[in-house]
Amino acid sequence: MMNKIQIWKLLLLTIIVISSYTLKAQPGYGQAAYEIALPSVNGDTIKLSSLKGKVVLLDFWASWCAPCRASIKKLVKVYPKYKDKGFEIMGVSIDDDVKDWKKAIQKDKASWLEVIDKGGWYAPTPMKWRIDAIPASFLIDKSGRVVAMDPSPKELETILYKMLKG
């Protein structure tokens, strides 16, 4: 049988474990997006924070991921409608092979910002964002806060229409 001190220690330990897990969770609705600074196709470092003032879809993907590639094909149709109204997509690849990544971008006609964090699931960015499945996307408002996670193309268009006034 546990005494009161043991019960309090167990309770405190439980609170600490739960708190530490939530501190390392994906940013949730209304929370600030975590910073990303990664190399683009041209080798320039692009920071997510440099897009503040725009509505950004942060899209985690890889060239070898069939559902990701299908999702990109849908985004190719949405992007031109809203890019001149303050919408940007920042694709974050977790590919290991830069050649495969660049080939997929070209083949899929992804004309938005693309960056790569080589190293797959264990690269720093997917680890920081706690990405455990792809495709995974986060819609970030002009102030840098998450307003939607994994919106369908239809949901994305509805939100963009409202946020960007058509």
pLDDT in tens, 77-90: 999 999 999 999 99
The predicted model scores a pTM of 0.83
Distances (CA, A) of 79 to 20, 37, 74, 117, 151: 37, 22, 9, 23, 14
User: Where do runs of H (alpha helix) occur along the chain?
Assistant: 4-23, 66-82, 98-108, 124-128, 153-163
Q: Which of 24-28, 67-71, 83-87 is predicted least confidently?
A: 24-28
Please give the average per-residue pLDDT across 6-33, as a whole number.
65
* Closest to 125 (Cα-Cα) out of 15, 17, 37: 37
CA angle, 4 then 5 then 8, to 5°: 85
**CA quadruple 95, 98, 100, 103: dihedral sign:** positive
